[in-house]
Amino acid sequence: VGDSAAFDRSVDSVCPYCGVGCQVSYKVREDRIIAVEGRNGPANAQRLCVKGRFGADYVHHAQRLLTPLIRREGVSKQLDPNFDPAQPWTHFRPATWEEALDKAASGFAHLRAAYGAQALAGLGSAKCSNEEAWLFQKLIRTGFGSNHVDHCTRLCHASSVAALLEGLGSGAVTASFRQAEQSDVILLTGCNPAVNHPVAATFFKQAAKRGAKLIIIDPRGQALSEYADEVLRFKPGSDVALYSALLHVIINEGLYNAEYIAAHTEGFEAFKTSVAQATPEAMAPICGIEPERLRKVARLYAQAASAIIFWGMGISQHTHGTDNARCLIALALACGQTGRPGTGLHPLRGQNNVQGASDAGLIPMFLPDYQSVADAQARAKFERLWSTPLPSQPGLTVVEMIHAMEAGQLRGMYIMGENPAMSDPDLAHSREALARLEHLVVQDLFITETAQLADVILPASAWIEKEGTVTNTNRQVQLGQAALPLPGEAKPDWWIIQALAQRMGLPWEYSHPREVFAEMQQGMASLSHISWQRLQQESAVTYPCASPDQPGQDIVFADAFPRAGGRAAFHAVSYQPPAELPDQDYPLILTTGRVLEHWHTGSMTRRSQVLDALEPEARAHLAPTTLQQLGLPGDAWVSIRTRRGEIQLRVRADSSVAPGQVFLPFCYQEAAANLLTNPALDPYGKIPEFKFAACRLEAIAEV
Ligand code: SF4
């Protein structure tokens, strides 16, 4: 990354990191990215954060996979701490594409013949294109014959989507984040946009400077607090208690929008009953916020002319994640804060294409566009499109797949661009289960922790090296162009999926992603009027879109919701504590998340020279007061234990962390935070409780 004047071509694409979906131009010289500039995209208006600007060099990393690999006979499948991804030859041997694809496909065919379709599953990727997500789920459903297909949405916003589908009839945002520019009140909860959605955060700051009231409700402090009018740092895990109190105040003081509720919703009376006892006085001891401050914030939100809510994984990654999101939906519905400029409900989506991958059906209970696999009519539509009978049983979710591996029910897996051996909760357990698979095929850019357990490794393409569409958190479908040639023998992911499908007997003949996109338009009403040609001309089109010559709808549900009768629904909630509470043996609260410079399991950003130089080391973040109580200096080495495992790393004093809490980034393989996390699931979204576990900490000598 350097002098942008000295490039020999400039190629337009989209940033491969977060769900903001910043449009970029890659400046290329001699087939290397030398600079990245922000374009005037609808989500970024020429802005980029440090990852978008400096995080492209991972594609040139020396550990890049350049040829297919096959595991050597007799090499153990346990993770080897001495394994060197740059010198994998002790564990793997190079293979031709022909041999690797034959071995991959015949392994799946053998298991399907021996144990049936339920023995096979796939994890697709929110970092691949929409077309690749579509092909991946189509292969699992029509080639493997099961609905056991999922991706990282299960670890991210699955509970938010469950609540939104149930309450509004749609799992996507009701308004883009740039509606905040017109809001009177902006509520940020369970999210840290300056770290995780940095360009979106710049619009929130500007809105606050313009005069919008910013409310932040989160156990952790954050940089945006400086711009906030109200900051409620409540007790971790008590979200439902806090929001029930806010709703109680709004109902008790008659601040709700009776006209909106009567015209657009159902279930309000039952909901009222569910929060009738949740007075601020009753909830204050649970959530740790004084009753008068709860009242003040409830009034501020309810009396705003326009208010918008943004949330992140602080809301969703709990065993009560769906209830948390139900509270936010109830807040917006009770006050009539959707469907108008400056209003809305917006779960800030994590990965760059998690919205698009979910829309394309990379989930076990839904066909594309959230059409239930159990709905015979929906199945019939796709059976006609794909000329194949489809399974009707909902498939297994990410953590359920691990349980099925342990039980010997799941024996073969195809994993594209995901790294469950780093991202799943209770990693020792998950890694053991993955190692038990009889046939594991991993398609990726590097030999990730998951790929180390594979039988066959297929070298894939980085987003920067291929053409395709992605959909950001705002529902904006955007086109990316290939800026670089593929290195070595690496192939585009869509090509690899098709090559496997053909070997499994499927008559696929796609020659370009645009043909896949055309097929998607036949199955997905959400993509109506968004042609490939249009994307080439306009770069981004928001769905839903009413006609080929109109922009898509930035705000949806002004008149009706896509539910029976057109009404949104309130759902009753009741406070439940987290699954594992601190006790004498494990007295601290563990929470995990991201840091600005790194992305998810670090497979890309830790191989980016600039990003890894900025944040090279795993640190456990604790409040200075907690460190003081424990008698630890600010860079002490510690052991952190939960009931599931132990890691060793240094601490960092961080006043944004609540007293008694430990924050761990989950991107460092040398101190993998998910060795400690709790796999307990939200019953609806099936998302694990990454945001709360009981832990203990002890000082150790330097490692
Ligand atoms: Fe990329 Fe997100 Fe940063 Fe934009 S905000 S440059 S999409 S990581």
The CB of 56 under 6 Å from ligand 1? The reply is no
The CB of 48 under 6 Å from ligand 1? The reply is yes
**Which residues lie below 8 Å from residue 509, measured CB to CB, with a gap of 6+?**
none
The CB of 43 under 6 Å from ligand 1? The reply is no
What 3-state DSSP class applies to 418?
Answer: coil
Q: How far apart are CA 294 and CA 329, in angstroms?
A: 18
- Distance from the CA of 124 to the center of ligand 1, in angstroms? 22
- Distance from the CA of 15 to the center of ligand 1, in angstroms? 6
Task: Using alpha carbons only, give the angle 455, 77, 695 rounded to the nearest 5 degrees.
Answer: 125
pLDDT at 156: 86
Tell which phi-psi region holds residue 488, choosing left (phi > 0), alpha (psi between -120 and 50) or beta: left
Q: How far apart are CA 503 and CA 430, in angstroms?
A: 29
Ranges of residues in the chain whose predicted pLDDT is under 70 = 1-5
Nearest to 513 by CA among 496, 488, 500: 496
The CB of 199 under 6 Å from ligand 1? The reply is yes
Question: Which residue is listed with tokens 């709990």?
Answer: 318
This complex has an ipTM of 1.00
Ligand 1 atom with the smallest distance to the CA of 48 is 6
Best mutation site among 14, 20, 53, 195 for ligand 1, i.e. most ligand atoms within 8 A of its Cβ?
20
Q: How far apart are CA 439 and CA 457, in angstroms?
A: 11
The CB of 17 under 6 Å from ligand 1? The reply is yes
What's the pTM value of the predicted model, to 2 decimals?
A: 0.96
pLDDT at 127: 94
Q: How far apart are CA 159 and CA 163, in angstroms?
A: 6
Ligand 1 atom with the smallest distance to the CA of 16 is 1
pLDDT at 1: 47
The CB of 622 under 6 Å from ligand 1? The reply is no
The CB of 193 under 6 Å from ligand 1? The reply is no
Determine contact, residues 88/454, Cβ cutoff 8 Å. Answer: no
Determine contact, residues 690/398, Cβ cutoff 8 Å. Answer: no
The CB of 51 under 6 Å from ligand 1? The reply is yes
DSSP one-letter string for 486-526 = PPTT---HHHHHHHHHHHTT------SHHHHHHHHHHH-GG
Q: How far apart are CA 18 and CA 351, in angstroms?
A: 5
pLDDT at 703: 83
What 3-state DSSP class applies to 34?
Answer: strand
- Distance from the CA of 473 to the center of ligand 1, in angstroms? 12
- Distance from the CA of 350 to the center of ligand 1, in angstroms? 10
Nearest to 621 by CA among 578, 661, 573, 572: 661
pLDDT at 702: 85
Q: How far apart are CA 368 and CA 309, in angstroms?
A: 27
The identity of residue 684, as a single letter, is Y
Best mutation site among 13, 14, 17, 472 for ligand 1, i.e. most ligand atoms within 8 A of its Cβ?
17
DSSP one-letter string for 110-163 = HHHHHH-GGGEEEE--TTS-HHHHHHHHHIIIIII-S--EE-GGGGTTHHHHHH
Q: What tokens were used for 455?
A: 């039988």
Largest CA distance in the chain: 71
Nearest to 661 by CA among 619, 691, 700: 691
Which long-range CB contacts under 8 A does 254-263 form with residues at least 24 apart?
A: 255/298, 255/299, 255/302, 255/303, 255/335, 256/302, 256/334, 256/335, 257/334, 257/335, 257/336, 259/336, 260/333, 260/335, 260/336, 261/333, 261/334, 261/336
Determine contact, residues 296/255, Cβ cutoff 8 Å. Answer: no
282: number of Cβ within 10 Å:
15
| Helix (H) / strand (E) containing 280 | helix 280-287
Q: What tokens were used for 319?
A: 């065993």
The CB of 52 under 6 Å from ligand 1? The reply is yes
Ligand 1 atom with the smallest distance to the CA of 38 is 6
Q: What tokens were used for 161?
A: 């989507």
- Distance from the CA of 369 to the center of ligand 1, in angstroms? 26
Best mutation site among 1, 13, 14, 15 for ligand 1, i.e. most ligand atoms within 8 A of its Cβ?
15
The CB of 412 under 6 Å from ligand 1? The reply is no
The CB of 530 under 6 Å from ligand 1? The reply is no
The CB of 227 under 6 Å from ligand 1? The reply is no
The CB of 15 under 6 Å from ligand 1? The reply is yes
Continuous H helices in 169-276: 193-196, 198-210, 239-252, 258-264, 268-274
Alpha-carbon distance values, 455 to 70, 74, 85, 398, 458 (Å)? 6, 11, 15, 20, 10
Best mutation site among 13, 23, 50, 51 for ligand 1, i.e. most ligand atoms within 8 A of its Cβ?
51
Q: Write the residue with the smallest CA distance to atom 2 of ligand 1.
A: 18
User: What's CA 415's distance to the chain center, in Å?
Assistant: 16
Tell which phi-psi region holds residue 84, choosing left (phi > 0), alpha (psi between -120 and 50) or beta: beta
